[in-house]
Amino acid sequence: MFLSLANSIAQAEVPLKKTSRLVQEFSRTLKNTVSYQLSASMFNAITGALHDAISYTKNLNGSLNEIRIVTGQSADQMAKFAQSANAAAK
C-alpha cells in the first residue's frame, strides 16, 4: 500500500514540474507582451505628436503666406510678424 502511494506521488511529480515550467513560461511571455505593448504605445504617442507638430507648422506657414499675399507684405515683414505673434502667444 505504502509503495503504491509512493509510486503515485512520484509519477504525479513529473507532470507538476512540467505544469510549473509551463506556468513560468506563460508568465514570462505575458510580461514580455505587456512590455512590448507599452513600448509600442509610447512610440505611437511620440510619432503622433511629431505628426501633429509638423501638420501645425505646415498650416501656420500656409496661413502666414496667405496673410502676406493679402496684405502685400514682404517675406521679411511676415517673418517679424510671426516672431512677434509667437512671443505674444507665450
Instruction: Please report which residue ranges of the chain form alpha helices under DSSP H.
Output: 2-71, 75-89
**Residue 89 grid cell:** 502667444
**Tally of CA atoms within 13 A in the half-sphere of 49 that contains its CB:** 5
Q: Which pLDDT does position 34 carry in this prediction?
A: 95
**Neighbour tally for 75: CB within 10 Å:** 10
| Tens-place pLDDT, residues 28-80 | 999 999 999 999 999 999 999 999 999 999 998 898 888 888 988 888 888 88
pTM for the full model?
0.56
